[in-house]
Amino acid sequence: MQPETQNFRRAAAAAAKDEALQTALDGLATGFVARRADAVANCPEFEALREQGRHIRQATFQALDAHLLAFERAAKESGSTLHWAETAGDACRIIEEICTAASAKVIAKGKSMVSEEVGLNDHLHAAGFQVFETDLGEYLIQMRGETPSHIIAPAIHLNETQARDSFLAYHHNLDPQRPLNTPEDIVGEARQVLRQTFLTADVGITGANFLIAETGSAVVVTNEGNGDLCATLPKVHIIIAAIDKIVPTLAETSVLLQLLARSATGQTMTAYTSLFTGPKQPDDLDGPDACHIVIVDNGRSELLASDAREVLSCIRCGACLNHCPVYSNVGGHAYGWVYPGPIGAALNPGLLGIDQARDLPLASTLCGRCEDVCPVKIPLPKLLRQWRAADFAQQHTSLYKFAISLWVWLARHPNLYAVWAKAVARFLHRSKGAHRALPFVGGWTQHRDFPSSQGKTFQHQWRERNRRETP
């Protein structure tokens, strides 16, 4: 997916005026946020689980190489073929080769954020394969040529009417008079159409929520069961997952799974949690003949070495998006790339370079709700501040940098600071009323008046008070 992260300001302004989007986003508070709160209230050990989750992720990264090797060994023992992809291009090329070798025409695909990140669908389409997303939300946005706007609810920006219109337009070979009045009708139609896809697909591609080093398994979590059909019916199953998905053991995976569903949708457990380990075994009645696992780096090993390592702990639950005042007002598309919301603002600069995504860490009030709800306690505000500092260090010439440096210099020279503050206080003084416009702060005064100063600095007033009070 081509990043449009540099467009954030324009896209966010447009999103704030998009009525359909705003109505859709209004549903976040009553939906995800309320359901998560319920789930947490009903789970007395939730805080302890979070602490364990954070610990598991950090400890894993301290020996990630050993865990990757253990995963490789176990996965090979169970008959999977492993592939390593350094870049997005490598991942796409490897998967194209597997599909070509399988003489594939139709590919059924489960939801996978890393496949969006590497641009897999476009690549496979260009190579002549028919790729069908099978998660309903993904299917819907695929019809519309859009990208996901939320990590776990990719079509959250769309309402029922938009979904119906898309189905009518996209399934043009079906009877235009068919009843499609309710969400049940729409889901029923998708079930019918996609069932054919599952039955005819030569290859199934899924992501993985976790890769378990102990057993060489990929964990796929869905509510629809589409991931299970992708992994079971086609003769080849391809799993694409990034290096940060590794969890050492089954026991630790169980801790993360308990955090994931509650944080994501407020369910105790997602409807289907499946562990896939290798291809069909000799006497099994179904399952793929081959299982390929493509392990993607695409910049993560560099992040692991950086002071932003904690961002890799993310288990993609989406809670930080749902609770973010910025995301809830601008939606996911404004962020311009695969990962929106606080996690996007903290991760995208690491994957794309801060120069490509400098507005994202700025799009935060640092209110801290994201960190409060993160199931693995990622210090997102701290990471955003780090990216702001990194960005500042990179901007060698800008007026912004000059102004901040001047401020720092002034703050270090108290006498000069006092003179400057006095001049500003006087300049902002009005005997009555407020300022309707001021130089340099047009962004503020465009929407509201700037209060007038009463003419004296704080230090000045403090001195006066002390003089009055000392006899």
Partner 1 sequence: MSRTAILARVTAACRDGKEHNSVPSAPLNVLQKTPSELYALFVQCLRNNGTAVATVTDPAAIPAQVAAWLNQPQAEHHSVRIAPEPILQTLNWQAAPTLKPKYGLCETGDRVGISRAVAGIADCGALVLAASPEQPTSLAFLPDVLFLAVDQRDIVANLTQAMTDIPHNTEGGRRMPRAVNIITSASRTADIGGKIIHGAHGPHTLGVILY
State how far the Cα of 442 lies from the Cα of 435, in Å rounded to an integer: 11
When asked if residue 270 is in the footprint of partner 1 (CB under 8 A), the reply is: yes
Q: Which is nearer to ligand SF4, 247 or 373 (CB)?
A: 373
Question: Using the rule CB under 8 A, which residue among 6, 7, 22, 58 binds partner 1?
Answer: 58
- Using the structure block, give the residue that is written with the tokens 């394969």: 129
Residue 109's closest CA among 235, 223, 206?
206
Q: Measured from the CB of residue 152, what is the shortest distance to ligand SF4 in angstroms?
A: 9
When asked if residue 39 is in the footprint of ligand SF4 (CB under 6 A), the reply is: no
By CB under 6 A, the residues from 250 to 269 that bind ligand SF4 are: 263
Residues 292-307 as b/e (b if ≥16 CB within 10 A, e otherwise) read bbbbbbbbbeebbeee
State how far the Cα of 466 lies from the Cα of 464, in Å rounded to an integer: 5
Question: Using the rule CB under 6 A, which residue among 108, 242, 320, 384 binds ligand SF4?
Answer: 320
Q: How many residues does the chain have?
A: 471
Residues 231, 252 contacting (CB under 8 angstroms): no
Stretch of residues binding ligand SF4 (CB under 6 A), selected from 199-207, 279-287, 315-323, 414-422:
315-323
When asked if residue 361 is in the footprint of ligand SF4 (CB under 6 A), the reply is: no
Question: Using the rule CB under 6 A, which residue among 56, 293, 376, 425 binds ligand SF4?
Answer: 376
Question: Using the rule CB under 6 A, which residue among 36, 57, 316, 358 binds ligand SF4?
Answer: 316
Q: Can you say whether residue 246 is alpha, beta or left, with left for phi > 0 and alpha for psi between -120 and 50 degrees?
A: beta
Residue 135's closest CA among 258, 256, 235, 221?
221
The entry of partner 1, ligand SF4, none that residue 459 binds, CB within 5 to 8 Å by partner kind = none
Size of the site for partner 1 (CB under 8 A): 101
Q: Measured from the CB of residue 378, what is the shortest distance to ligand SF4 in angstroms?
A: 5
Instruction: Tell me which amino acid residue 353 is.
Output: G
Size of the site for ligand SF4 (CB under 6 A): 15
Stretch of residues binding ligand SF4 (CB under 6 A), selected from 82-90, 172-180, 283-291, 313-321:
313-321
When asked if residue 171 is in the footprint of partner 1 (CB under 8 A), the reply is: no
State how far the Cα of 36 lies from the Cα of 159, in Å rounded to an integer: 22
Alpha helices in 333-395 (DSSP H): 341-352, 359-362, 369-373, 380-394
Q: Which is nearer to ligand SF4, 295 or 320 (CB)?
A: 320
By CB under 8 A, the residues from 79 to 138 that bind partner 1 are: 84-86, 90, 134-137
Question: Using the rule CB under 8 A, which residue among 74, 107, 311, 351 binds partner 1?
Answer: 74
Q: Which is nearer to partner 1, 67 or 358 (CB)?
A: 67
State how far the Cα of 448 lies from the Cα of 30, in Å rounded to an integer: 31
Helix axes 414-427, 399-411, angle to 10 degrees: 120
When asked if residue 273 is in the footprint of partner 1 (CB under 8 A), the reply is: yes
Stretch of residues binding partner 1 (CB under 8 A), selected from 5-13, 95-103, 182-190, 363-371:
182-190
> Cα angle vertex 314, ends 313, 320, to 5°?
140
| Contact footprint for ligand SF4 (CB under 6 A) | 151, 263, 314-320, 343, 373-376, 378
